[in-house]
Every structure is written in C-alpha cells, then in structure tokens.
Amino acid sequence: MRYEQFRREYTAAGLNRSMLDACPLRQFETWFEQALAAQLNDPTAMVLSTVDEGGAPWQRIVLLKGLAKGSFVFYTNYRSDKARAIEREPRVSLHFPWNVLDRQVIVAGTAQKIGDSESADYFASRPRESQIAAWASRQSQTIADRTALEQRRQHIRERFGDGVIPMPPFWGGYRVLPERIEFWQGGEHRLHDRFVYQRGAGRDWEIEQLQP
C-alpha cells in the first residue's frame, strides 16, 4: 500500500474572522451544534493527550460530557494511566477530529478534578451496565484474559443485586480549563484557515490567525 497516494482537497467550507464569536467556548458550541446537525458519529469523542513521568506523550479517546464553568468535562477511573499522568502533569491537550466537516478543534489547558457531588450526579445517570463496568475494571492494570474481567463483572452484579449502585471511590470527573483553543477549517490546495484564541494579560481572549 502506498500511503502517499491518499489525498483529497478540503472544500467543505471556509473560515474568516467575521465568522468567529469573541468567546471560544461559544464558538465551540456553534461548531458542535453543526457537527450534531451533520449527524457525525461520536461528535463528543476527543483525543486526550498527556505526558508520563519521563515526559513521553500518550493519547487516548475519551468522551466530552459537559461544557461547564468555561471548561471541558470528562470522567474516568482515578487509578488509570491517564489519571496518574494528570496528577503528575495537569497540563493536557484535547483534540476534536471532525474530519467529515474538514474541521478540527485543539484545546490546551489544565486538568483538575471536579467535586464528588458533581461526579456522583453524573454516575447516577449512567446506564446500569456502565456503572457495573466502572466497578469491575481496574483500568490500565494487566489482566490474564477477558474471563477474569467477566467474572469480576458478574461478582459486582451479585454484590449490588437490584439495589442502587453507588459511585466507586476511585472514579470521577475532570474539567480542562483552556488557555489556548484553535479552530481549523480545511481549505483548498492545503491553504487551510486557522484561528487561535489565547488568554491575554488581562485574562481576556485574544484571537490570531495562523498560517496553514
């Protein structure tokens, strides 16, 4: 297979400064609504990038579960690799790859845990099987085979029976407080449109256009 032969023109739309909201969170919401209208698969899927104790980067897909208090919210196991990486280095990056629309949004910011009550409210809204899976999985730890995982899941089912499943003490949410957000719109002949919002000295958002 010759990978260099895979190419196409990006002609879905253009982007100029007059189209942008002064607030990047409102601009994100506008693009997100358009992603929903386009019926994209998994529009909330975002790539979370962290670095480990040696400074090596790692990425994985997580799901955006809220845009609140000027931050991007997701949930995970606090004993996972991603949580341990965030504890050591809370500066992270998020990437929304909305390729069907020739768009991507890149966020750089700082992750911090959200309150237990907020996490518990969200956990209570999850499907019961997802709640069981949160208890059963010792996320990021090695396992002999899937049979052991299925056995733990069955044990959790029996443990809680038909009762309410509480939030595990090792599970909860993070909010990513953005310092930089880039909106990328594909353009013809690789002359893409890129606008970046950055916090200024007065903490207001400043907008700059970048070369592709």
**Catalytic residue status for 159:** no
Other Cβ atoms within 10 Å of 45 Cβ, number: 15
Closest among 193, 196, 197 to 12, alpha carbons compared: 193
Q: Which amino acid is at 57?
A: P
Residues 182, 74: contact at Cβ < 8 Å? no
Residues in the chain: 212
* Residue tagged active-site, from 128, 152, 190, 194: 190
Asked whether the CA dihedral 107, 108, 110, 113 is positive or negative, the reply is positive
- Report angle CA 153, 41, 165 to the nearest 5 degrees: 25
Catalytic residues: 190
